[in-house]
Amino acid sequence: MCGIVGYVGADQALPLLVEGMERLEYRGYDSAGVAIIENGKIATARKAGRLDALIDEVERRDLPGTIGIGHTRWATHGGPTDENAHPHVDCSGTIALVHNGIIENHDVLRARLSREGHRFASATDTEVAAHLIESIIHERSCSLREAVLEAVDVLEGAFALVCISSDEPDRIVVARQEPPIIVGAADGIGLVASDIPALLKHTRDVIPLDNRQVAEVLRGAVTVFDFEGNEVEPPVVHVEWDMEAAEKGGYEDFMLKEIFEQPEVVRNTLRGRVDLGGRVRLDEVHWDDETLQGITKVVVVACGTSFHAGMAAKHSIEHYTRIPVELDLASEFRYRDPVLDETCLVIGIAQSGETADTLAAIRYAKEMGASVVAITNVVGSSITRDADAVLFTHAGPEIGVAATKTFLAQLVALNLFALYLGQQRLSMEPQKVAETLAAMEALPDQVEEVLLLEDEVRRAAKRYADARDFIFIGRGVGTAVALEGALKLKEISYIHAEGYPAGELKHGAIALLEPGVPVVAVMTGAKLYDKMLANVEEVRARGAEVILVAPRGDERARALADQLLEVPSTKPLLSPILDTIPLQLLAYFITKEKGLPPDKPRNLAKSVTVE
């Protein structure tokens, strides 16, 4: 989810690049850099940290030139350092390149190019692409565009590449495979960006490249080719949004934008972690099999939304590995005198990586001799330094205070980790691992299907926006979904909402029910299906109105629902990834009906850095 900007024209490139990068900094902010061509040479400036650090750097340097590329980074391969910041250059300093995505075969290409004599200066997958293009040009004596067209046939994974060459200082060459990239041209200028805000000041007519397309951007002109080298006629999109709306991708609020980014978030968190043999590959986890075999207990510590992800993960880990799992609120963990030793594995989950209670919990666990793995979205955050291993969620920056896409990314990452433990400990048959991974790889498309419920959820929100109380119920992993749905609603709409295991209703909470109270019921899995139906009958008998989240085509659920939200079927332990989305939308649209700001709920902060 990095920010990319490119400019070629008559004006000085640096101010225009910095301005565009400022508009895209929300897409990545752990390092930034620029590369500019002047007098047949490429000059670069790269700094770790937020964009301000780069701006301070370039203010002290003379970087003239009328063509250049810029990048704000959300680190994946290699930490947020000056050396790992983009742009990257080849051995000769002739080619500069920025990249968004993950090149899955970077390690194989790095080894091959190293044998050819190429020297690498970073730990990134991106630098491999620069040296690969250099190698092709050297061998073929071809143009930059021709070299990029050959390189994209070699690269595996997801990539948006933007390249310049001091040998061709009048053009920018762009390639897209999955991550979005947009090009445009106006009077005497050519433009490139990973999102519309960086272009909008200069033109409202843009060309979003399709997958498997390459563009050559010159002053006032853009030519587009497919990966086979055939020229194509791309559609031009006229942008009507104002600048604020453009930063939100045309969505009214960041929260809604982030909910609709979730198909790509799930793809990104899966990408590069499933091999062709149907096995989990977690390059970030370096424990040997003997260590993994020695684990006798797993403890999950987290707060808020991350705690709900851990609640779902408890079911997956125990099912896949047969290791007992304890689940603790991080704020309570240290104070109950937990029993830990070197055979225990502690999983700390924190979206920001800076949650004070979770940091304190994992530090305490390490003092007790336990091994610690962190699940986080932020490279270079405190939790990554304290943990023994880190599994990153590739959700990209999340601007809305209420977590949405980061929660889904956590669910995906935790299921991958649970499968990995089962796979390495041989507690799960290889066929079962492969079947579950196949179901996971279907999830991005299924998430897109769930998002088609937008209008139905909007109607439900209008119907129930004036309710004073909500109750959410579920069983098994559905309990985690119920708790998360209740949390989302109370966070942003300020409606009193409670999540319960459905079987606990009759132990007290059912006293809260009266005619008109909305009850949201999450129907999960055949094993608990009949019991959930019985719970729904119980609440209906007390006059409650029922919103059901159920598998598509479920006629028994339809007969009991005042409002039915149907989702695609998947494996029960993966169902929270789909079942959560309608509840996110419900919270969002109820909040809008009440005229409240979903991105900035009162009294809340994105990262809780105090106990």
Cα–Cα distances in angstroms (integers) from residue 87 to residues 42, 61, 96, 233, 419, in the given order: 11, 17, 6, 29, 36
| Residue closest to 215 by CA, chosen among 239, 188, 246, 180 | 180
**Cα distance between residue 376 and residue 270, in whole Å:** 15
**Cα distance between residue 325 and residue 296, in whole Å:** 9
**Cα distance between residue 353 and residue 393, in whole Å:** 11
Sheet of strand 545-551, all strands in order from the earlier edge strand to the far edge: 496-501, 469-474, 518-522, 545-551, 563-567
Catalytic residue among 366, 594, 600, 606: 606
Decide: 520 and 474 in contact? Cβ < 8 Å.
no
Q: Is 387 helix (H, G, I), strand (E, B) or coil?
A: coil
Cis? peptide before 601, omega within 30° of 0? no
Residue with tokens 């999109």: 237
Residue with tokens 């937008």: 454
> CA 541, 543, 544, 549: dihedral to nearest 10 degrees?
50
Cα–Cα distances in angstroms (integers) from residue 450 to residues 440, 445, 559, 591, in the given order: 15, 9, 21, 20
- Dihedral sign for Cα 300, 306, 311, 313, please: negative
> Would residue 47 show up in a list of annotated catalytic residues for this protein?
no
**Cα distance between residue 232 and residue 215, in whole Å:** 10
In 3-state terms the chain splits into helix, strand, coil percentages (rounded to 5) of 40, 25, 35
Residue ranges in 64-179 assigned as alpha helix (H): 106-115, 126-140, 144-151
Decide: 97 and 126 in contact? Cβ < 8 Å.
yes
Q: Which residues contact 290 (CB under 8 A, 6 or more apart)?
A: none
**Cα distance between residue 189 and residue 179, in whole Å:** 24
DSSP label at residue 84: T
Decide: 386 and 363 in contact? Cβ < 8 Å.
yes
| Residue closest to 44 by CA, chosen among 52, 56, 53, 32 | 32
> Would residue 606 show up in a list of annotated catalytic residues for this protein?
yes
Tokens of 579: 């079942």
**Cα distance between residue 479 and residue 477, in whole Å:** 5
Catalytic positions are: 2, 606
